[in-house]
Amino acid sequence: MTTETLPRSVPATSGTTLAWRRVRPALTHVALAATAVVMLYPVIWMVVSSLRPGNEIFRDPGILVRDLRIENYRIGWNALTEPFTRYLLNSAAVVLGSIVGNLVSCSMAAYAFARLNFTGKKFWFAIMLVTIMLPIHVVIVPQYILFSQAGWINTFLPLIVPKLLATDAFFVFLMVQFIRGIPRELDEAARIDGCGKGGIFLRVILPLMVPALATTTIFTFIWTWNDFFSQLIYLTDPKMYTVPVALRAFVDATASTSWGSLFAMSVVSLVPVFLAFLLGQRFLIKGIATTGIK
């Protein structure tokens, strides 16, 4: 690439350099836009295909809808033993419980780690960091036995109770990092005004850590909505299926013969994730840049 050495070999005012300086941003944009199109094309095509008659899906790689059909949605909605509304509500219940659980329990633990002095702090903090890396597989079998003995199979409890107990430790870590950025003088001032530790947590720290709580909410929402492994294991009764488990049952039931309605329900399942992404982009990007969660 001779152009790389241009600034040195050719005076900055020369015509070639100027032309290159004008052309380069345009070329970059073309390359970036092309990449973006290639990346998003399959998803856009899926949305379009969900609105097409079934046989067209196998013929038309384009994204123009000539013959708009929404019956794929009607068929897909009622393709399984329960209407899709049921699965959406089930997912919503699991997601809501998980969000509440993560917000309450992780913020409490984070406050202790970031602000309170106690015996064994370093030890527990190290343990907390280690649990972030732990694969779910080393605990899933005994957890399954535990929850099945408690009679919790085919309830949402195995999916929600662990969140109430702050097992999503990366959120504890994220919140600790955030609280450390809040000036300690604020705690001091509140203490002098007569606040106890609970008061400082509720009145000073929590209101100031709203961005971290928002990040936690959005990630919990998207992950729980997408989570498949644990929902597959704990929910075997079709009445209790969440959206991912229902979609998978749909694939098995139709043996992929009705792509139109399968795509329609896939699109329905992605809409909440997409909305969460639009609303929470700022927090998502921040959260991922600081902790590496994805």
Partner 1 sequence: MSGQKKDNVAAYLFLSPWLVGLFVITIGPMIASLYLAFTDYNLIQAPQWTGLENFTRMLSDQRLHNSLKVTFTYVFVSVPLQLAVALLLAVVLDRGVRGMAFYRSVFYLPSLLGSSVAIAILWKQVFGTDGLLNQVIAPLGFDGKGWISDPSTALGTLVVLNVWTFGAPMVIFLAGLRQIPAMYYEAASVDGAGPLRRFASITLPLLTPIIFFNLVLQIIHAFQSFTQAFVVSGGTGGPSDSTMFYTLYLYDRGFGNFDMGYASAMAWFLLVIIGVFTAANFVASKYWVFYDD
Of residues 226-245, those binding partner 1 (CB under 8 A): 226, 228-229, 232-233, 243-244
Q: Does residue 45 belong to the site contacting partner 1 (CB under 8 A)? A: yes
Q: Does residue 202 belong to the site contacting partner 1 (CB under 8 A)? A: no
Q: Does residue 166 belong to the site contacting partner 1 (CB under 8 A)? A: yes
Q: Does residue 177 belong to the site contacting partner 1 (CB under 8 A)? A: no
Helix (H) or strand (E) holding 288: helix 259-291
C-alpha distance from residue 92 to each of 225, 250, 256, 269 (Å): 8, 19, 26, 11
Distance CA 2, CA 22 (A): 17
Q: Which of 116, 253, 275, 279 binds partner 1 (CB under 8 A)?
A: 116
HEC string of 27-87 equals: HHHHHHHHHHHHHHHHHHHHHHHCCCCHHHHCCCCCCCCCCCCCHHHHHHHCCCCCCHHHH
At its nearest, how many Å lie between partner 1 and the CB of residue 223? Answer: 8
- Binding mask 62-101 toward partner 1 (x if CB under 8 A, else -) reads ----------------------------------------
| 115: Cβ contacts below 8 Å, ≥ 6 apart | 179, 184, 187, 200, 205
Site stretch for partner 1 (CB under 8 A), options 87-95, 129-137, 179-187, 206-214? 129-137
Q: Does residue 35 belong to the site contacting partner 1 (CB under 8 A)? A: yes
Q: Which of 197, 203, 208, 238 binds partner 1 (CB under 8 A)?
A: 197
At its nearest, how many Å lie between partner 1 and the CB of residue 204? Answer: 14
